[in-house]
Homo-oligomer: A and B are copies of this chain.
Amino acid sequence: MEAPYPTTPISPSTTRIGWIGIGLMGSPMASRLLAAGYFLTVFARNPSKALHLQSQGAFLATSPQHLAQSCDVVFTIIGGPPDVRSVVIGPTGVLSGLNPGGVTVDMTTSSPSLAREISNAAGGKLCWAVDAPVSGADAGAREGKLAIMAGGDSRIVEWLLPLFEVMGKCTYVGGAGCGQSCKIGNQIVGSANLVGLSEALTFAGRAGLDLGKVLAGLKGGPAVNKIMELFGEKMIERDFRPGGFAEYLVKDFGIGLNFVEEDEGEVVALPGAALCKQLFIGMIANGDAKLGLQGVITVIERLNGIN
């Protein structure tokens, strides 16, 4: 027996939404859904942290199960795979409460294999699961400009689009787990962009160039990238305030990618990604775990006796 497809399109007046995870990312995302007129029920381990959402009209549930019982769609965006496992498929988790036809959407950056496990568990309950991790940092979450990479049943992802559009732009990338795999790909490319830019600016600095002019020169050529636009000036101005923490990127690299030290995920040799991971680990080693990703330039500088 297959889970039934939803028969009613998403709308603020009829779709009941659950939200679990009100951190740096989840809080502004939930807030945007409330502002768009949706009824939202929130579960928070520490309810005092949900006060601002309550003041926007959010209801409070006492457990993921309690929340899911009254919701058509439940979003999660929480720490990492162990939290996701417990909150979604644990004894009092989302799937223990969701009605047949309900949808659980995990927006945490988590592992592809866990996403597939959740999808199977959801199917067993005649429910649906979508993995939809995001990229774009807290600013993207506040402004509704997140990149959402969604894996799961294509009709369900399409049905969810009105909600995703409140948060950003969704790209459907394939079946269960594919959203998470695409997010790993995004981190591989993004970190390469960050390290490449850090090295180019460090080189240019040592060569005595005006870094603002160099950045303009790079932006004019085929090496231009969005990371350069987002972080180039910040690197030059030594503004290392975090959009996302460096330590999170290191965590992301431990998910679904089997470098020597991990025992889960695809076995694939990626020397560039492995080096990038080491350089971001350098930030943690330097006590800079809570700086933004652009702070990786300081690791390249330290290598060269700068600062």
Contact = CB atoms under 8 A, between A and B. Distances in A.
Interface string A208-236: 01100110111111111111101000000
A144 to B, nearest CB: 14
Contacts of A196: 188-193, 196, 272-273
A17 to B, nearest CB: 23
21 contacts: A112-B207, A135-B221, A147-B217, A169-B220, A171-B216, A171-B220, A173-B209, A178-B209, A178-B210, A182-B217, A187-B223, A189-B196, A189-B218, A189-B228, A192-B197, A193-B193, A202-B268, A203-B266, A222-B226, A222-B227, A272-B275
A221 B28 CA distance: 18
Interface in A154-211: 169, 171-174, 177-179, 181-182, 184-193, 195-204, 206-207, 209-210
A8 to B, nearest CB: 28
A126 interface: no
Nearest to A270: B199
B181 A149 contact: no
B181 A207 contact: yes
Contacts of A172: 213
A303 interface: yes
A203 B179 CA distance: 13
Given A173-B209, A185-B200, A209-B181, A269 B304 contact: yes
A192 B189 CA distance: 9
A270 B173 contact: no
Contact of A200 (B148, B189, B204): B189
Interface of A: 112, 135-137, 140, 147-149, 169, 171-174, 177-179, 181-182, 184-193, 195-204, 206-207, 209-210, 213-214, 216-228, 230, 256-257, 266-273, 275-276, 279, 300, 303-304
Given A173-B209, A217-B173, A223 B189 contact: yes
A257 B199 CA distance: 11
B256 A223 contact: no
A181 to B, nearest CB: 4
A174 B107 CA distance: 45
